Amino acid sequence: MIETLKIFGTRAITALRLFSPGQITAIVIGILALLVGAMVLLRVTASPLTPLYSNLSSEDAVAISEELEVQGTAYELNAGGTQILVAPEDVSASRLTMSAAGLPADAGSGYSLLDEQGMTTSQFMQNVTFQRALEGELSSTIEGIDGVRSANVLLAIPAETVFTQATDKPTASVLISMGGGQVIDGEQVQAITNLVASAVPGLAPEKVSVSDSSGVLLSGGGVSGAASVSQGARIEKGLIESAQAMLDKVLGPGVSTVTVNADLEFDQRSTTTQEYAYPEELPPLTGQTNTETYTATDNSAIEGPVVGDPPAVIGEGTTTDSENDYEKTSTTQTNPINSTITERIGAPGDIRRLTVAVLVDAAVPAASFGEVEAIVANAVGLNAERGDAIQVSQVVFDTSAADAAEEAAAEILAAEASAATFDLIRQIGIVVLVLAVLIWAYFHFVASAER
């Protein structure tokens, strides 16, 4: 084997001595061009990197980078060092490796703070550390919600004391930051509120204030007005979408627009109704009949009332035809009465009144206005008894903005197609250039060898 290598090396040196310095330079340039072209092709055709971890702390980013270097996995840092990118085929294996190494650790937050306490830690420091740990765990949990990039939870938990009976209730503040241009919705805010309230003993959901990074109060004290506006906007949006979908199917898209204004009732209402009913099919509960007679004789006497006779019709009585005789019968009975008490509590947010405005393009025949009004009224649930109103008007629509948007979209598509074509031509040019250099070097080498 060694002898073979020596022979090959001797022949290579002898062959190189046959070339002039210019030929050797051309061969070296050709080889370098080949290597550069290969690197460019690999770079162009390489698959895009995939995020391994995002929103990392600086400590976790350093630890994960060192571990990837030890494993020999290629990576890139992005988003100011808070995101690590690797090849798609390395994501699963790298995450398993990082998990085995306990990364990302996110040191300095959560219940890991409790591991740093010693035997001499005071009760005050234990309480403060536990509160910080709870805040960190809640922040990590909230960050697990889709769209939430970061979260910061602050708890105000009053100290327990045996000297006073009345104590302040705990409160909480949550600051969230959404990522990727996403917007948090009401259900997510409610979920965050309940999550924090359930994790802290004695914390009521209404004592949790949630704000976003722009300073908008999403829930908590003083948010009732904003919540009312948000609820009204959601109702109006749903009604508009329902009516617009019907009009687009009937008239066609782009020739009509609908606006709905919902006046909501946010006052708490309670109505109590009591109804009485006499069930005629049931017998009386109790009955009493009194009979009184009088006979005009010398030893006249008035018979006392007779109790226990069968019930008779109320008010029935008889009087004899004799001028001197008298008889009176009276009946008293207690009938069963059914009583029904109904209490209705109206939840805040009911629709008090709806007003609807519909604009249709001038191209729509005026004869179809009746159908348009009926369709929209049924789509939004218009109630005339409630005072709802609808107005349909015909105007000339301005389509200049839509036309400009279509032209801009067409220009963007053309630019993208041109860029794709240019990129393809560039790649083909690189390949052709590399091949040309190789062919030139080959023929130059052959010609030199023949000479």
Which of the listed residues 342, 369, 387 is the one where a domain comes to its end?
Answer: 342
Tell me the pLDDT of the chain (451 aa) as tens digits.
677 767 766 776 776 666 666 666 777 777 777 777 777 666 655 557 788 887 777 778 888 888 899 888 888 888 777 788 888 888 888 888 887 777 776 544 555 555 556 666 677 777 777 888 888 888 888 888 888 888 889 998 887 766 666 567 899 999 998 876 677 877 788 889 999 999 888 888 888 898 888 887 777 655 454 555 667 788 888 899 999 998 998 888 888 999 999 887 766 677 888 888 877 777 877 888 888 887 766 554 444 454 444 444 444 444 444 456 778 888 888 877 877 888 777 666 678 899 999 999 888 887 788 888 999 999 999 998 989 999 999 888 877 777 788 888 888 888 888 888 887 887 787 777 777 777 776 666 666 666 5
Same domain, 54 and 7: no
Whether residue 240 lies inside any domain: the answer is: yes
Same domain, 312 and 241: no
Same domain, 200 and 132: yes
Whether residue 411 lies inside any domain: the answer is: no
How far is 373 from 222, CA to CA, in rounded Å?
A: 40
- Which residues, listed in sequence order, are joined to residue 53 by a DSSP beta bridge? 84
How far is 290 from 34, CA to CA, in rounded Å?
A: 129
Same domain, 240 and 374: yes
Domain assignment of residue 55, given as a range: 50-100
Which of the listed residues 315, 342, 369 is the one where a domain comes to its end?
Answer: 342
Same domain, 201 and 300: no
Same domain, 368 and 243: yes
- Which residues, listed in sequence order, are joined to residue 261 by a DSSP beta bridge? 355
Residue located via tokens 């009979």: 291
Residue located via tokens 């917007």: 183
> What is the phi-psi region of residue 158: left when phi exceeds 0, alpha when psi lies from -120 to 50, beta otherwise?
beta
**75-78/83-86 β-pairing:** antiparallel
Same domain, 213 and 306: no
Residue 148: its H or E element: strand 148-156
For residue 380, what is the domain's CATH number?
3.30.300.20
How many C-beta atoms lie closer than 10 Å to residue 30's C-beta?
Answer: 20
Same domain, 372 and 388: yes
For residue 81, what is the domain's CATH number?
3.30.70
Whether residue 331 lies inside any domain: the answer is: yes
Q: Cα dist. 227→192, 272, 347, 392 in Å?
A: 16, 29, 15, 31
Same domain, 282 and 299: yes
Same domain, 256 and 317: no
Whether residue 188 lies inside any domain: the answer is: yes
Same domain, 130 and 213: yes
Q: Are 169 and 204 in contact (CB under 8 A)?
A: yes
- Contacts for 38 with CB less than 8 Å, ≥ 6 apart: 434
| pLDDT given for residue 377 in this prediction | 92
Whether residue 301 lies inside any domain: the answer is: yes
Whether residue 66 lies inside any domain: the answer is: yes
pTM: 0.38
Same domain, 244 and 383: yes
| pLDDT given for residue 314 in this prediction | 44
Q: Are 372 and 256 in contact (CB under 8 A)?
A: yes
Number of domains in the chain: 5
Q: Are 152 and 213 in contact (CB under 8 A)?
A: no
> What is the phi-psi region of residue 313: left when phi exceeds 0, alpha when psi lies from -120 to 50, beta otherwise?
beta
Residue located via tokens 């008035």: 302
Whether residue 403 lies inside any domain: the answer is: no
Backbone angles phi, psi at 128, to 5 degrees: -65, -40
State in Å, rounded, how far the first CA of the chain is from the last one: 33
Which of the listed residues 222, 257, 291 is the one where a domain comes to its end?
Answer: 222
Structure tokens at 37: 């072209």
- Contacts for 51 with CB less than 8 Å, ≥ 6 apart: 78, 83, 84, 85
Structure tokens at 190: 């409610």
Whether residue 169 lies inside any domain: the answer is: yes
**Directed axis angle between helix 91-100 and helix 58-71, to 10°?**
110
